[in-house]
Amino acid sequence: MDVTSHSTGLTVFAVQFVTGYSVPISAVISRTVGELAALPPGVQVTGVTQILITEPTIAQTALWLTERFVPVGIAAGVAVVINRIVGSAMAGDPFSGTNLRRIRTVGLLLLFGGVVAAAVSVAAQWLIAWISLGDGAGTPVLMEPPMITLAGVVVLAISEVMPKGAALRAELDEVV
């Protein structure tokens, strides 16, 4: 999740909300420059597969912001669960069943949250372009799953090792 991009999105929203001025947004499309005939006013091609919408509609701005808010929401959820894990570990046993469930929750949030964020991004980018270009937007541009999904797999793997730590801890408590 690119924090800079998401904080920029929130700043753009604030500027548009406070001043009423349109701030340009971009969208990735599956068409090349040669395939695009006439572009509507307020739309420029800035690369082979990216357009710049200089005067976005409210719907386009809402889609663009949705694309940025989904990863922020996932990151906030992960931060809340991690905060609870750390608080619980500091207060008592870090290998508790509650912490194990929380670690699995973090893994699942990262794994599926990354996929959901990528799907929302693809859909939002395509809809933003479709609003400006209609059928000229082409098909949605699929992207690789974000690396955050790999982090989810790693956290889930760690959560599988946690019961072993809990068993060792219990055995050590019995010995002492």
Q: Which residue has the higher pLDDT, 109 or 174?
A: 109
Radius of gyration over alpha carbons of the chain, in Å? 22
For 103, the 3-state DSSP assignment is helix
Q: Which long-range contacts (CB under 8 A, 24 or more apart) does 136-144 make?
A: 136/31, 136/35, 136/36, 136/37, 137/29, 137/30, 137/31, 138/29, 138/30, 138/31, 138/35, 139/30, 140/30, 141/28, 141/29, 141/30, 141/49, 143/118
* Residue-number span of the structural domain to which 23 is assigned: 3-175
134: left (phi over 0), alpha (psi -120 to 50) or beta: left
Token reading at 128: 């933003």
Task: Give the residue among 7, 57, 3 at the shortest CA–CA distance from 27.
Answer: 57
**Identity of the amino acid at 141:** V
Is 85 exposed, middle or buried (CB count within 10 Å of its CB: 0-12, 13-18, 19+)?
Answer: buried
Give pLDDT tens digits for 61-110: 889 889 889 989 999 999 999 999 999 888 887 778 888 899 999 999 99
pTM, whole model, 2 decimals?
Answer: 0.68
d(CA 114, CA 147): 8
Instruction: Grade residue 1 by pLDDT with cuts at 50, 70 and 90.
Output: very low
- Asked if pLDDT for residue 57 goes beyond 60, the answer is yes
Instruction: Give the count of domains, the chain.
Output: 1
- Look at residue 8 in the predicted model and tell me its pLDDT: 55
Residue 170 is predicted with a pLDDT of 77
Structure confidence by residue, pLDDT tens digits, 139-163:
676 666 778 888 999 999 998 888 8
Rounded to 5°, angle at Cα 109 from 28 and 98: 170
